[in-house]
Amino acid sequence: MYRVGDYVYFENSSSNPYLIRRIEELNKTPSGNVEAKVVCFYRRRDISNSLIVLADKHAKEMEEELETPSILDLTEKQRHQLKHREIFLSRQYESLPATHIRGKCGVSLLNETESVACYLEKEDGFFYSLVYDPSQKTLLADKGEIRVGSRYQADITDMLNEGESDARDQSKMEVKVWDPDNPLNDRQIDQFLVVARFV
């Protein structure tokens, strides 16, 4: 049983690897067949060599940003397998007959906090970090990436012991902008929020 949101294999040729797609809609055609509107993912073999070089450069930069370079711990065979597990999201949709679905697979956005080896452990598991535009022949980082490392996260100080005073300069700290014990009633708060949305 396949549902909207499932990542699936589609067969388009017996000599090529299965296509990887995400189901966006399932529709019944007038002839009674089921058609799937899908988002396309592309394998490395589907994009040009110049874009593969760009993808490898992006992967290397991401690896250098991480504090533990886990890809260096992989064997040559595992690195080769990892390249076959990387796919590229696109914003391209197509409609395919549901009879060409050959099974489910898993696709996830590359998580910088996990070891890359975990993507090799999942059978039928793939990952992506870049978006491919087949019409423009471009490869871009997907928006919303979360960066990990001391340059991107706040340093949290240790919790004070009971009775210990805070020696930090309070004038350099944040300014309190909300007090739950304020004199405003719910109506005034709602009015403020409505006005704040338009600013």
Please give the average pLDDT of every successive group of 10 residues along the chain, which has 199 residues: 93 90 94 94 92 84 60 78 90 93 91 75 88 89 65 78 84 77 85 79
What pLDDT, on a 0 to 100 scale, did the predictor assign at position 171?
78
pLDDT value of residue 19: 94
Distance of alpha carbon 146 from alpha carbon 90, whole angstroms: 20
How far apart CA 20 and CA 105 sit, in angstroms, is: 8
The pLDDT assigned to 150 comes to: 72
What confidence score (pLDDT) does residue 70 get? 59
State residue 68's pLDDT score.
Answer: 45
Whole-model pTM?
0.65
Q: HSE (CB half, 13 Å, CA atoms) of 17?
A: 13
**Residues 6+ away with beta carbon under 8 Å from 130:** 55, 58, 88, 89, 139, 140, 141, 142
**What CATH code would you report for 7-141?**
2.30.30.490
Q: How far apart are CA 46 and CA 134, in angstroms?
A: 10
Nearest CA to 25 out of 35, 34, 37 is that of 37
Task: Say if residues 91 and 40 touch (Cβ distance below 8 Å).
Answer: no
